[in-house]
Amino acid sequence: MLVLLFVVSTFADQVAAYVGDEVILESEVTQYSTYLASDPSSQRAFSDARELRKYVLDELITRKLLLREAEVESIAVPVEEVAPRVDQMIEDIKSRFPSEVDFFRALQQAGLTIEDLKANYENTVKTQMIMQQLVQKKIARQIMISPIAVKRFYEDYKDSIAVVPGRVKLSHILLTIKPSEEELKKSFERTLDVYRLLMTGGDFGVIAQEFSEDENSRKRGGMLGKIKRGETFEEFERIIFDLKPGTISQPFPTRLGYHIVEILNRGQDWVLLRQILIKVEITKGDTLRYEKLTRELREVIKKGADFDSLAALYSDDPTIDIGEWYVEQLTPPYKEYVLDLEQGEVSEPILTPYGYHLLYVKERIAQKSMNFEELRDQIYQYLYQDELQKYYTQLVEELKKKTFIQIFDNPLL
């Protein structure tokens, strides 16, 4: 990331590539690279900045080519069709995190706001929809998948594709490790010291850079930017949306620590603000205390107590049922705890960065084999998408051949 940031400052206006009579600027490459590197939903890894830049340039060139071709074919996408897809993508990403707070914490750690994420996805979704229409118009009608091909694929690969692995339906209790009263008091006193500096005329931005423990906003003088309702966790919103522009809040607690915020501006459903965050330290004693509580809950469940009732009473995550999972696809450390559990059994306490979990197997579904009729539609779609990808690649190569393209190296990479 240091390399990328250095490139931004030095080569922001340099041309990275020509695509016909259009240009791709180095700033575009860097912006998309930074987005890929910090996107909390991205699962793509790159060995170095040079490999990342090569991938990004190829993506941007392909987009330019397809969008140019879409203009020729008079293909467009109404704005109102983009927003619902973007909202769904955001919700899908949120669902991959244990809680909404963890989602916003990941955004914060990546130096992104929800608006940054939406802006990137709006551009991506609109481009994808246009390209899909182009592919449908120019390619899809050429693809024919015969019933014989579908049947042959099943017979050739049924030993692997027809086997449905065993699954489990899980519920959980999450006990977030909370600090002791002593640590809360220490952090509150530190926050009060900072608040007194502000009340005696200290500059909020300067004090935030000096004392705030939110590493991302600290670098920007505490600036969080514009936040809309529903974009951060409720206990934080409850305070910030009750404040008027130009006011500095009294210190208030959330699960992240103690906050002091300054409201710079606001609209009907948004506020522009900056903050100072003082975190509360979690000690070894706190961890041991919550481990003990988790083990006590496990023993009560093993003796026959209703899991859902205890979860409703004790869990810090309101979502008790966490879905159906293939056992083999569970990631560590969860897999090793669930692997040998039978239906109705509860796991040992599991320590993760979010706290202590207890996993409860509500239902265990045995491995089974699917017949041809059950798999026919899925095989057809797989073969269709495979052919579609081949034609898509061919279309892109044809567009590259008939378009002037020149790529420039970045000497800093």
Classified as helix, coil or strand, 16 is strand
**Residues 10 and 36 both lie in one domain:** yes
Residue 222 lies in a domain: yes
Query: Domain end: 278, 309, 338, which one?
Result: 278
CATH of the domain at 393: 1.10.4030.10
Measured from the Cβ of residue 132, the count of other Cβ atoms closer than 10 Å reads 14
Pick from 292, 318, 324: nearest CA to 173? 318
Please tell me the distance from the alpha carbon of residue 283 to that of residue 178, in angstroms, as a whole number. 9
CA 400 to chain centre: 33
DSSP secondary structure of 277-345: EE--PPPHHHHHHHHHHHHHHHHHHHTT--HHHHHHHH-SSS--EEEEEEGGGPPTTHHHHHTTPPTT-
Residue 342 buriedness (CB in 10 A; 0-12 / 13-18 / 19+): exposed
Residue 121 buriedness (CB in 10 A; 0-12 / 13-18 / 19+): buried
- CA angle (79 as vertex; 76, 85 as ends), nearest 5: 105
For residue 201, the enclosing domain spans: 181-278
Please tell me the distance from the alpha carbon of residue 235 to that of residue 252, in angstroms, as a whole number. 10
**Residues 256 and 313 both lie in one domain:** no
Please tell me the distance from the alpha carbon of residue 312 to that of residue 166, in angstroms, as a whole number. 28
In sequence order, the β-bridge partners of residue 248 are 262
CATH of the domain at 304: 3.10.50.40
**Residues 323 and 272 both lie in one domain:** no
pTM here is 0.50
Classified as helix, coil or strand, 270 is strand
**Residues 265 and 290 both lie in one domain:** no
Residue 147 lies in a domain: no
**Residues 293 and 172 both lie in one domain:** yes
Residue 214 lies in a domain: yes
Residue 152 lies in a domain: no
**Residues 28 and 114 both lie in one domain:** yes
Contact 172, 359 (CB under 8 A): yes
pLDDT tens, per residue, the chain with 413 residues? 333 333 333 444 688 899 998 999 888 888 788 767 665 555 567 778 888 888 999 989 998 898 888 888 888 888 788 888 888 888 888 877 767 777 887 777 777 788 878 887 887 888 888 878 887 787 777 788 999 999 999 999 988 888 888 899 999 999 999 898 888 999 999 999 999 999 999 999 999 999 999 988 999 999 998 888 888 888 899 999 999 999 999 999 988 899 999 999 988 889 999 999 999 888 899 999 999 999 999 999 999 999 999 999 999 988 899 889 988 888 888 888 988 899 999 999 999 888 999 999 999 998 888 899 999 999 999 999 898 888 888 888 999 999 999 998 876 76
Residue 312 lies in a domain: yes
In sequence order, the β-bridge partners of residue 277 are 259
Number of domains making up the chain: 3
CATH of the domain at 220: 3.10.50
Locate 192 and state its tokens. 């009060």
